[in-house]
Amino acid sequence: MGLESTSGIVLKTFSYGETSKIIRCYTKDFGKISLIAKGIKTSKTLQTGYLEPINCISINLYYNSKRQLQIFSKAEFDQPFLSIKTSIKKLSYSFAVIELIDKTVNGEESHHQLFDLTKNILSAINDNKGKINILFWFFQLKLLSLLGFKPNLFNCSNCQNSLNSANFLSGELFCIQCSNSAGIKLSKNSLSLLKKINKIEIDDIPKLKISIFERKEIGEFLKQYYSYHIDGLREIKSLRVMESILN
């Protein structure tokens, strides 16, 4: 058992006894792991402040692949994301990002591309790089692609003709004729916007414009797509809490 260093994004923390904490963390080099920080709640080193959800930190830990709980040594901020914590909307979408990671990533298997995507989207939310809901859709689409559930936005799942507008039905997108107009609708503009979001880089997101109608269509489509394809993901609780606060 040796001392290791890695970058990590804190997903959740739990109290363990009167003095310790368990931290669930998505790390660059070890995937999703749980660590125990012994005595941290009474420590004079102020390490507990680093271990709050959403924080991106550099961690020192004693790692053993045969053990379920790794041993936390110390941490420091990689990126503190201070601006996120000043806005209910930023905070809610950031919690939604780490909620999706927590619910879709299993096991201690590193995935540098997914880790970088998660870190970059949190950084973009923190730095106001475009509308937050579009940043979140960008993350959702990229996550689906990395997990092997990328939606086919270009061709009808039945007749294979090019999609102009579409209906989402039974987990797939169909043209109007093949779906008999049933299912969740995506207008021409909404489908076109999804294709753009799926293709562009994160720095291009501020250039995109969206109407209230398109926002509702795309948001509902992605919600239902995740619900259908990802087991146990009926809703994203962080966004529901935000809606209840702001409405």
DSSP result, 221-244: HHHHHHHHHSTT-S--HHHHHHHH
> Considering the entire predicted model, what is its pTM?
0.91
pLDDT at residue 242 in the model: 58
Q: Tell me the C-alpha distance between 226 and 233, whole Å.
A: 7
pLDDT in tens, the chain (247 residues): 689 999 999 999 999 988 899 999 999 999 999 999 998 888 766 666 889 999 999 999 999 988 999 999 999 999 889 899 899 889 999 999 999 999 999 877 889 999 999 999 999 999 987 789 999 999 999 999 999 999 999 999 999 999 999 999 999 999 999 988 778 999 999 999 999 999 999 999 988 989 999 999 999 999 999 988 887 776 677 666 656 554 4
pLDDT (0 to 100) of residue 245: 53
Identify the pLDDT of residue 107. 79
Collapsing DSSP to helix, strand or coil, 155 comes out as: strand
Tokens of 62: 């004693």
